[in-house]
Amino acid sequence: MKAFTLLFFISLPLFAGMNHGGMIMDDSGMIMNHNPDVLPKDCPKISKDVDITIHAGHQYTKGFAGKMFTYDKRDWQVPGCARVNVTFINEDDIRHQFMIHGLPGYMYPKGMFTIEIYGKGQKTASFIVPSRDYTYYIHCEVSQHTEKGMKAQLKVGEGSGDLDSILGLTAALTPDIYPINNTQITWVSLLISFVVGVVFILYLGNILRIKLS
Amino acid sequence: MSHKRFYYRLIPVVFLLIALAIWQQADFFQRAAGIHLPKGVTPEFKQVLKIDKPCVDLHPEWRLAQNIDGVKMAESRLCEPDNPYDIAAFVLGMNNISMPTLMSTHIAEDALIKSDDLDGDGDPDIIHIKLEVLELNGATPDSPSVFPQYEIAPGIMPGMWAFSPKLRGMSVKNFRSQKPNAILRAPSPVIRVEQGDKVYITLENTHYFPHTIHFHGVDHAFKTSKGGDNDGVPVTGEKAVMPGKTRTYELQPRHAGTMLYHCHVQTDKHLMMGLVGMFVVEENRPDNWVQTFNVGAGHVRYSSAAIKEKYQREYDLHYQSIDKNLAKTIQQSNDTREISKQMHRVYNMSESNENYFLLNGHSFPYTLRDALIIAKPDENIKLRVANTQHSSIAVHIHGHKATITDYDGVEQNPMAQITRDVFHLAAAQRLDLNLQTTNDGLHSYGEGVWLFHDHVETAVANDGMSPGGNIALMVYENMLTEMGLPELRSDALDDLFSNRYYAKKQVLWGKKEAGTFAPNTLQLILFGLLLGIIVGLIFFIGRGLMRAD
């Protein structure tokens, strides 16, 4: 009996692994926590069906010097209780993910919904968002992909502000520091504006003094 | 009095403005990135951009197998093969070559005299060799640059020394050239003698510092027959050979093998400067004329009789390193007292680094010109490897496993010989390898352009810029171009032969580096105005208060 109990507890993680249904896998990729129909507790019904198409790949960093991978669009907004049907298209020959965090844990284990594609290709899956205004974090978890540009946000309702370091949208929380390429013009304009400031105040003062006297 | 109050009331305004100025302080020298990063710039390169040809095909006719004064030498399909007239001179001795051959070399007539077949086996047994000491990339009072300009890799000219066979004539290529002629180069030449030869090696000290020669691993008596110094160590023998003086060392090596010779004055510095070379004693055979010098090491165009019995080709591989700070000591002054101070007293070898790594006097990509191992399938290739660096080397030949036949010039019991793919040599060690090109999945994986290099990764870069250092290639003949270069992707060498690349001014895998932000002029002007207003206001208040009294 004791042995059985022990065995039961040891094997718990295994059961847990098998439990989180919603895992659809094939040789081209994986969808985790696909949910087209289960409503969050706070949603009486699906408010709207929103279809979004997200392209991922190196090519979309064009115009963003110094970055390596990103999505074609990085800022999305849907109403509360919407069903989001994501078509995720990987344009690179390597693995990319569309991974969203912060969904209710009671219906999305670990609060995540993920589409992962192992190479060039596409997959579609759905998730239903709760009603509250919130900004969800979307990214690709492949090593350093988030950091080098593959990061986005999904605002539900009004959202809860912008996330940091989303290409073209927000600055980094820990930004890189770059030197400034000063020329003589820099220093001359500083000097002239300083002199103008001095002259201006003295001129103003003279007018004032004349009025005072 | 009311005036005074007016001015006092303005003082808080000044503090307010100062607070505003601090708050709105302009970024003068650096700025954190906002949403957008800087657009990027191409790095600035002040020197004249110079892009070398991978091969300057100066003497295609030298590559052919040929017979000069009866010396039949192998072809040498390298981009820069050894001068065949030099080879003939080094095999026969300067006293046994024809006048046209002599005129086609830069060697002095008394540099190498071969005579007296003492044992009657058809080859000369008394060998007189004269060595000089030369400097490459030293200081010159006539130019801010160095002289003679010997590039180990594109744009890289560290100060170096080398022994050389006694030369004649100009040391440069021609009147207009700053470059040394082909004999004046690193490393010190490989010296080859036959086992049992009576060898007299005269050091003619043409340099401005004292030097000696010590024969490392080569059978020699402690003193010469006349009781003179024969070990080259100033502490145990005679004083060093002073500039302008000469000394003759005597050898009659009883044991064959791959050995070394080097200067033993301030050895730490002088050895790293390049006064070290390979010394090969070939096994005694009848009618065995050996190529006494292999200038620049590398391919041996005229192998000894014993080597020809077992091997189709022979290469001398001399690994060498340079500390750029040591190299600099001869480039900053023409006052020999100052150079001596900088090299021998200011420079501290115990704080040294190795920055440049050379194989046979060149670093990659120049190793492509003269340090290739050229092969055909089903051959036995003799490699003599010497490490004259301070650090150890771990030589690896892609696609092959070779067999170590000799350690430090001593044959390993054939039953115990080791076949492997990394060859470790501590400082001053030598290995003889049999590189078999049999495509059997063990000794060779087939024909190709196979890299070979020290796997200590500091050594595959030029002062940290990779690829460089002692990287070279083993190329099978079917993948070798007419010009002696390996068949490569057409753009494979584009960047590497420019001086910009090794000056670290070439962006890798792109065109731009991050660079800088432009100044925010509006912000600067507003800040300047604010400062002006503050200063003006302080002046206004001060003057007003003084006048109000």
Same domain, A127 and A185: no
> Into how many domains does chain A fold?
2
- A49: in domain: yes
Stated pTM of the model = 0.87
> Does residue A118 share a domain with residue A47?
yes
Residue with tokens 């030293």: B138
Counting one residue from chain A and one from chain B, the pairs whose CB atoms sit within 8 A come to 129
Domain that holds residue A36: 20-156
Tokens 């300083």 found at: A194
Smallest Cα distance from B5 to chain A, Å: 12
Closest Cα partner for A66 from B506, B509, B513, B35? B513
Asked if A200 and B518 come within 8 Å (Cβ–Cβ), the reply is: no
Are A88 and A135 contained in the same domain?
A: yes
Which residue is closest to B530 within chain A, CA to CA? A197
pLDDT for B494 equals 86
A197 touches chain B (CB under 8 A): yes
Structure-block tokens of residue B315: 């290469």
**Which residues of chain A fall short of a pLDDT of 50?**
1, 4, 7-20
User: By mean pLDDT, which of A12-26, A50-64, B46-60, B204-218 is the weakest?
Assistant: A12-26
Q: Do residue A83 and residue A130 come from a single domain?
A: yes
**Cβ contact A205–B529 (<8 Å):** no
Residues 154-183 of A with CB under 8 A from B: 168-172, 175-183
Residues 6+ apart with CB under 8 A from A98: A54, A56, A71, A86, A88, A114, A115, A116, A138, A140
pLDDT for the residue numbered A208? 78
- Name the residue of chain B whose CA is nearest to A205's CA: B540
Asked if residue A204 and residue A118 are part of one domain, the reply reads: no
Mean pLDDT across chain B: 95
Pairing of strands B126-136, B198-204: parallel
Top mean-pLDDT range of A33-37, B18-22, B210-214: B210-214
Residue of A nearest to B533 (CA): A197
Contact A193 B3 (CB under 8 A): no
Element (H, E) at B133: strand B126-136
- B134 Cα to chain A: minimum distance (Å): 46
Residue B15, Cβ neighbours under 10 Å: how many? 10
Q: What is the pLDDT of residue A213?
A: 66
Query: Which of the residue ranges A19-28, A155-164, B372-381, B494-503 would you say has the lowest mean pLDDT?
Result: A19-28
pLDDT of residue B2: 58
pLDDT tens, position by position, B311-369: 999 999 999 999 999 999 999 999 999 999 999 999 999 999 999 999 999 999 999 99
Q: Is A130 in the same domain as A205?
A: no
Q: Considering CB atoms only, which of A169, A180, A197 is closest to B529? A: A197
A211 interfacial to chain B (CB closer than 8 Å): no
pLDDT tens by residue, B152-191: 999 999 999 999 999 998 888 887 888 898 899 999 999 9
Co-location of A211 and A110 in the same domain: no
User: What is the percentage of chain B residues whose pLDDT exceeds 70?
Assistant: 99
Residues B510-520 pLDDT 10s: 889 999 999 99
Would you state the pLDDT for residue B76? 96
pLDDT of A87-129, one tens digit each?
999 999 999 999 999 999 999 999 999 999 999 999 999 999 9
Cα Rg of chain B (Å, integer): 31
Given a contact cutoff of 8 angstroms between Cβ atoms, the answer to whether B181 and B171 are in contact is yes
On whether residue A81 sits in a domain, the answer given is: yes
Flag if B530 and A197 touch (Cβ within 8 Å). yes
CA A80/CA A85 separation, integer angstroms: 14
DSSP state of B144: S
The proportion of chain B whose per-residue pLDDT surpasses 90, expressed as a percent, equals: 87
Question: Can you tell me whether residue B4 is helix, strand or coil?
Answer: helix
Q: Please check whether residue A163 lies inside any domain of the structure.
A: no
Shared domain for A76 and A139, answered yes or no, is: yes
Considering the domain architecture, whether residues A106 and A151 belong to the same structural domain is answered as yes
Q: For residues A86 and A51, state if they share a domain.
A: yes
Nearest Cα of chain B lies from the Cα of A85 at a distance, in angstroms, of 29
In this complex, the residue of A65, A179, A200 whose CB is nearest that of residue B40 is A65
Residue A21 pLDDT:
58
Which chain A positions have a beta carbon within 8 Å of B524's beta carbon? 186, 189-190, 193
Vertex A185: Cα angle to A183 and A187 (nearest 5): 85
Report pLDDT for A17: 36
Q: Does A184 touch chain B (CB under 8 A)?
A: no
| Chain A positions in Cβ-Cβ contact with residue B26 (cut-off 8 Å) | 190
Structure tokens at B195: 């086992």
Within this chain, do residues A202 and A139 fall inside the same structural domain, yes or no? no
Residue B544: its pLDDT value, please?
84
Nearest to B429 by CA among B470, B471, B393, B472: B393
Which neighbouring-strand residues pair with B263? none
Q: How confident is the model at residue B137 (pLDDT cuts 50, 70, 90)?
A: very high
pLDDT of residue B431: 98
> Residues 54 to 113 of A: which have CB under 8 A from any B CB?
64-67
Q: What is the CATH number of the domain that holds A111?
A: 2.60.40.420
Distance CA B233, CA A73 (A): 75
A139 lies in some domain? yes
Strand partners of residue B396: B422, B453
Statement to judge: residues A111 and A206 lie in one domain: no
**How far is A81 from chain B, CA to nearest CA, in Å?**
31
Please report whether residue A172 resides in a domain: no
- Residue A41 domain-assigned? yes
A132 vs chain B: nearest CA distance in angstroms? 28
The answer to ipTM > 0.85 is: no
Residues contacting B164, CB < 8 A, separation 6+: B131, B132, B133, B134, B183, B184, B188, B189, B295
Q: Are strands A151-156 and B402-407 parallel, antiparallel or unpaired?
A: unpaired
